[in-house]
Amino acid sequence: MKSIRLREGKERSLQRRHPWVFDSAIAKGGGDAGETVRIDSAKGEFLAWASFSPESKIRARVWSFDEAQRIDAAFLAQRVQTAVRARTRLDIQSDSMRLVHGESDGLPGLIVDRYADTLVAQFLSAGAERFKPVLADALLAATGLTRLYERSDTSSRALEGLQPAAGWLRGEGPTQLTITEHDWKLTLDIATGHKTGFYLDQRDSRAKFAAHTRRLQFQRVLNCYCYTGGFTVAALSGGAAHVTSIDSSAPALERAAANVALNGFDAARTDFMDADVNGSMRRFIEEGRTFDAIILDPPKLAPTAAHAERAARAYKDINRLAFKLLEPGGVLFTYSCSGGISADLFHKIVASAGADAGVDGFITERLGGAPDHPMTLEFPEGEYLKGLVVLKKVQ
């Protein structure tokens, strides 16, 4: 078994059970891409078993902190079964959910979503890639399903020295699926949709928005970066009189309109705009338009802390425009899915946007990803999705 030895003092994060080892922490040793290596302290004491990635800044990702553990097919099958079983303890109002959430489930670099009777997986680390056939078999065994589609076509694969990969790993069939969420039906395409096909992490936020709409009787709703219309359907189900939805993807907007129709809502209650969000909001301000509620759910703007400063300016700008468009007493649901933007920094950005817009508001709720996208005690980086519900004060 190959091993790596850490520099003096670099063992502390592993002793706290954090699962990453960066290249700068390693004094000597290595392995092949995805190979399991032993990690020792500078004094030669065992710390962990990890998968090695010779091209990534995250040079090793921990499988286990138990020296007696063998990293083999049985170990991975048990980890998969534990992750799947954990979801049965959660309140998930859907036939679709995240079954494996990478490091949070002790399976670094592996993301698996279930959409009704189909699994979709992303193998995003060298270790997950090396064990791909074993993990695929384990996933089918743990769920009893027969279809597994791969969506390992994200830019993060390049950081691991891996080529993009997509297609059926097990079974075959249509890639356009219909899922149930709360009382709604939603369609997606696992071959072309964002991430693994859909944003399951916003499931509970969509329900919260529907509840807010019902309670506060929103009449005019603006859904920015609407993608395939999950929040649009939520707003309409809550009784919104009209929803304006903006996205720069025509195919996503077509699916959003189809989702509205699938749930039996009148198309006259919606407008879908293939347009830039910032430009559209500026034009609405010039036209004197206002909204009772606004959703801001932009794509990832800061994948790492190195991108935070530039992303902060973009987040501030869209939130400032939203505050200007909100009616007094209106509600803003605003999000960041950027790992490089902490919850504290996001709060500061939104506060600064409010100050520039000349408005103040109550933060009535802090939101995060649905519980099937967990953050563990040892791995705070698992908290990537941050949201605030802001009630604009009446001046």
For 195, residues 6+ apart whose C-beta sits below 8 A from its C-beta are: 113, 122, 151
Taking Cα atoms as reference points, which of 194, 118, 115, 124 lies closest to residue 152?
124
User: How far is it, in rounded angstroms, from Cα 388 to Cα 72?
Assistant: 42
Catalytic residue, candidates 337, 353, 367, 375: 337
User: How far is it, in rounded angstroms, from Cα 331 to Cα 21?
Assistant: 42
User: How far is it, in rounded angstroms, from Cα 340 to Cα 152?
Assistant: 22
Annotated active-site residue 337? The verdict is yes
Residue burial 15-53, b: 16+ Cβ < 10 Å; e: rest = eeebbbbeeebbeebebebbbbbbbbbeeeeebbbbbbb
| Catalytic positions | 337
